Copies of this chain bind each other. A is one copy, B any other.
Amino acid sequence: MIARLDAIRRLADGWGLLTDRSDVRWASGFGGSSGWLLVGPDQAHLVTDARYSERARLEIGSRPIDVVTIDASNDRYRIVGRLAGERSIAVRSSAVTMDDLARFESLGTRLRPVDFSGLRRIKDPLEVETIRRAASIADRALADVVALIDVGVTEVDVRDELDHRMRRYGADGPSYDTIVAAGPRHSAVPHHQPTRYAFAAGDPIVIDVGALVDGYHSDMTRTFVVGEPSDHFRRWYSAVAEAQKAGLDAVRPGVECRVVHEEARRRFGDEAPWFVHGTGHGVGLDIHEEPFLNGSSAATLCEGEVVTVEPGLYRVGFGGVRIEDLVVVRSEGADILTSSPKDLLCLPSRPTT
């Protein structure tokens, strides 16, 4: 854990201030919603308010970080400015607001934007195992819930069961707002919010579900159909499955992220305009984090990164298909953490006789 503070010191080249909640958690262990971590050459201070100071001490444990509590006469700007003295402070500019900037300026404290985005990209073995545990909890919950799907069941029924079962299986909660999107209209909305819409025969159902474990997220999508799919839907499903396989096959250290996206996308041929989002993103303490696998990404995959591969096709009035796995980038390729079946499953699934 001291290695993490040292990584911040190296990037900061002097004093560094982490204001992003996940950065703070990664470096200090503190998971509350209000905390800044100030790292100096041979000291580190977690600045928080009185609601959190006891929890912060518990979560920091033996790390060499002291807790400084904000009070009426010492807000967090003053505390940071006083501790750092005259020195300029490195910050992640995407996690500092215009407001913060103005407050620091009024105290004469100078901030330097520094690229901290690489800090959390490569996961250590414990982080990978935590994400693997989260992924397998979501697999287990999905297997249970798929068995309950039938005509008349609603999107929120499925969402509620998934979330409840993930917790029963050891998750702290869902990793993000679980998506259950059914029918020709909702399934075509990539980030649909579940409603009381009841499944009808022929409906596609897109389920995007992950578990949260010790602050780490998992992420997976599977697409099902109620009853018998049309030939057109089968073709779309096959196209997405092939694109997803092409994306997985392209994952390897040293490969540019935009190449993974292009490998998936070109499998769609004429259907490519219906693939409206990127192919994937990093996952860790944030559900969406660096690197992003899309056409405008300048990043290159590194060994130990955890990313999604999730192409999809969407057309309102017809429906949507998305297939998503979560993988670790290994020298030999993608190590897949999500293990739910990817064949097109028609529900309710009939026992084979």
Contacts and interface: CB of A to CB of B under 8 A. Distances in A.
A10 interface: no
B101 A98 contact: yes
A54 B111 CA distance: 39
Question: How many interface residues does chain A have, given as a range?
Answer: 35 or more
Contacts of A168: 160
B50 A192 contact: no
A72 B316 contact: no
B191 A51 contact: yes
Interface stretch (A79-87, A89-97, A223-231): A89-97
29 contacts: A32-B191, A49-B277, A50-B276, A50-B277, A51-B190, A51-B191, A51-B277, A52-B190, A52-B191, A54-B189, A55-B191, A55-B192, A55-B193, A72-B295, A72-B296, A91-B98, A93-B102, A94-B97, A94-B98, A96-B98, A98-B98, A98-B113, A99-B113, A102-B113, A156-B167, A160-B164, A163-B164, A163-B173, A164-B164
Interface of A: 31-33, 49-52, 54-55, 58, 72, 91, 93-99, 101-102, 111, 113, 156, 160, 163-164, 167-168, 172-173, 177, 188-193, 276-277, 295-296, 314, 316
Q: Which 3 A-B pairs have the closest CB atoms?
A: A50-B276, A93-B98, A51-B190
